[in-house]
Amino acid sequence: MKILSIALILLSTTCFASDYQPTAGASGAQMFREACAACHGDDGTGKFGLFFDLSTSTLLDAQMKEAIQQGGLMMPSFANIKGKELDVLVTYIRSLGRVIAIKQ
Ligand code: HEC
């Protein structure tokens, strides 16, 4: 069952644009939970061990924003996350890395 849902997540999003629309003024945590946690895990360390661990990403902010807006091989593009929401989301992803670093 788990394998099936993973396959469905992949199939339904592969090479597709996400129409996810963040609420104006949404917090980074809210957007991450709604749009990203299904693949990247609640704490950004990656789900299923298969997806990129965002907490250790070495991307610069500008590159991370580009990755979110353009998507990847398996990651959908999130063109609707932009401007202030995109800034807030990237700040939140950065904070995930810090939380994990403190835990170690
Ligand atoms: C369908 C699963 C899925 C969803 C949903 C998803 N991602 Fe991803 N993401 C991936 C995969 C897989 C990769 C690795 C690149 C690739 O092959 O697409 C990735 C890569 C990334 C990267 C690049 C990391 C690096 O260091 O190169 C960032 C940043 C990122 N995702 C952020 C997000 C954010 C923010 C969201 C929510 C708005 C999100 N992702 C939603 C699957 C997903």
| pLDDT tens, residue order, the chain (104 aa) | 666 666 666 555 556 899 999 998 899 999 999 999 999 998 898 886 667 789 888 899 999 999 999 998 889 999 999 999 999 999 999 998 766 666 65
Q: How much is the pLDDT for 69?
A: 95
Question: Does residue 89 line the site of ligand 1, with CB under 6 A?
Answer: yes
Question: Does residue 77 line the site of ligand 1, with CB under 6 A?
Answer: no
Model confidence, pTM = 0.85
| CATH number of the domain to which 55 belongs | 1.10.760.10
Ligand 1 centroid to residue 48 C-alpha, Å: 13
Question: Does residue 74 line the site of ligand 1, with CB under 6 A?
Answer: yes
Question: Does residue 88 line the site of ligand 1, with CB under 6 A?
Answer: no
Task: Collapse the DSSP code of 17 into the 3-class scheme (helix H, G, I; strand E, B; otherwise coil) and give the result.
Answer: strand
Q: How much is the pLDDT for 31?
A: 97
Domain count, the chain: 1
Residues 6+ apart with CB under 8 A from 76: 13, 16, 17, 18
Domain boundaries, position 91: 2-103
Question: Does residue 57 line the site of ligand 1, with CB under 6 A?
Answer: yes
DSSP letters of 30-98?
Answer: HHIIIIIHHHH-TTSS-STTTS--GGG----HHHHHHHHHH--SSSPB-TT--HHHHHHHHHHHHHHHH
